[in-house]
Amino acid sequence: MGFVVTHFLGAGLIGHLYRKYVNQNLPILFVFFVALGGILPDGDFVLNRLLISFEYFYPFLAHGGITHTPFFALIFLVVGFLILLIKRDWAKYVFAVTLGVFIHICIDFFLGGGGIEGLMLFYPFSLGRFYLYPGSDPMEHMFISAVIDGVIFLVWMSYMFFRKNFRNLF
Ligand SMILES: [Zn+2]
């Protein structure tokens, strides 16, 4: 399970490297949208909690369901291509979200996340779930994820401090 910091900064870092080494013409906003896309699939967690509080429950919206499938990323990719035909300038941001969603799925696959039984990588063709957890015990797994999240946060904050950007944060 990756937490918010892992997903936001993990996706943001890859977006940053893409902008730096592959396409320097992209605006910094591109990186931000990759990072946002990186946390989007976990929106199912919030949405599901909200629905349950109104006594609705849709199994396909349960955490780690449809929003954690490559199919979900593909929807953004298709929307991106459609926007490319209409409003060319905006398409790159939708592609950025697509990349972020895809990175989220990869992080959850490798660190374990979404559904406890794994991710439906071949949805809608198969409901089979796959994962590559570092631990089998859910509590231990949660603990490892929290530690990874904390370490990434500390490394990032230290990096900001030494780059002298720290004062801009507050
Ligand atoms: Zn997730």
Measured in angstroms, how far is the CA atom of residue 87 from the centroid of ligand 1?
30
Name the band, by pLDDT with cuts 50, 70 and 90, for residue 113: confident
Measured in angstroms, how far is the CA atom of residue 160 from the centroid of ligand 1?
26
pLDDT above 70 (res 168): no
> If you average pLDDT over residues 116-121, what whole number do you get?
86
pTM: 0.88
Strand partners, 130: 119
Burial (CB count <10 Å: 0-12, 13-18, 19+), residue 71: middle
Measured in angstroms, how far is the CA atom of residue 73 from the centroid of ligand 1?
13
Name the band, by pLDDT with cuts 50, 70 and 90, for residue 21: very high
pLDDT above 60 (res 135): no
Could you report the per-residue pLDDT of 101-112, keeping only the tens digit for each? 999 999 999 887
The residue with greater pLDDT, 136 or 18, is 18
Measured in angstroms, how far is the CA atom of residue 161 from the centroid of ligand 1?
29
Instruction: Tell me if 120 sits within 8 A of 129, measured CB to CB.
Output: yes
Measured in angstroms, how far is the CA atom of residue 111 from the centroid of ligand 1?
10
Pairwise CA distance, residues 151 & 75, whole Å:
33
Measured in angstroms, how far is the CA atom of residue 91 from the centroid of ligand 1?
24
Q: Give me the residues near ligand 1 (ion), CB cutoff below 5 Å.
A: 41-42, 108, 113-114
Strand partners, 119: 130
